[in-house]
């Protein structure tokens, strides 16, 4: 079964390349310099837009390929993200430009991917995603 968050499936830490590890360390070092508030806003943004892919796609012109991430978000989505993530319009635009490809390719887990991850890997540990909602 394919890992819900990566391509290709990485089941063993030994399979991680030095390049991947170095990149992750660089990312984490950059995050350490950010405030928790900014990190929380970005994580919320990523989670919300990954769940809004259909709404984003519906607002595009009919000739827009569903395989390509739109360059800009619909106004209604921008307003939702501004309000729900406590961001400015510019922040929303910058975040979208940064992760739109990852969101469109499924690299940012939506609720369905989170559910799959918990079913695949959490069951043996007694974890279930619905712990949060119950």
Residues 55, 52: Cα–Cα separation, whole Å: 5
Supply angle C-alpha 35, 129, 100, rounded to 5. Answer: 50
* Residues 22/130, Cβ–Cβ less than 8 Å: no
DSSP 12: S
- What is the percentage of the chain residues whose pLDDT exceeds 70? 79
- What is the percentage of the chain residues whose pLDDT exceeds 90? 49
Predicted confidence (pLDDT) per residue in 75-132, tens digit: 999 999 999 999 999 999 999 999 999 999 988 888 888 888 888 888 888 887 655 4
How confident is the model at residue 98, as a pLDDT?
92
Residue 32 to residues 27, 39, 65: CA-CA distances in angstroms?
9, 9, 37
Residues 14, 58: Cα–Cα separation, whole Å: 42
DSSP string, 50-105: HH-HHHHHHTS-TTS-TTS--SS--HHHHHHHHHHHT--HHHHHHHHHHHHHHHHT
Predicted confidence (pLDDT) per residue in 52-79, tens digit: 999 999 999 999 999 999 999 999 999 9
Residues 14, 12: Cα–Cα separation, whole Å: 5
How confident is the model at residue 25, as a pLDDT?
77
């Amino acid at each position: 079964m394919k890992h819900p968050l990566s391509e290709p499936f990485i089941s063993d830490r030994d399979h991680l390349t030095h390049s991947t590890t170095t990149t992750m360390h660089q990312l984490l070092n950059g995050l350490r310099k950010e405030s928790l508030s900014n990190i929380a806003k970005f994580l919320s943004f990523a989670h919300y837009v990954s769940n809004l892919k259909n709404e984003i796609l519906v607002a595009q012109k009919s000739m827009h390929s569903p395989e390509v991430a739109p360059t800009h978000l619909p106004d209604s989505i921008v307003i939702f993200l501004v309000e729900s993530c406590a961001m400015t319009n510019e922040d929303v635009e910058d975040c979208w430009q940064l992760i739109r490809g990852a969101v469109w390719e499924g690299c940012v887990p939506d609720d369905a991917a989170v559910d799959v991850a918990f079913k695949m890997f959490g069951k043996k540990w007694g974890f279930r995603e619905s712990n949060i909602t119950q």
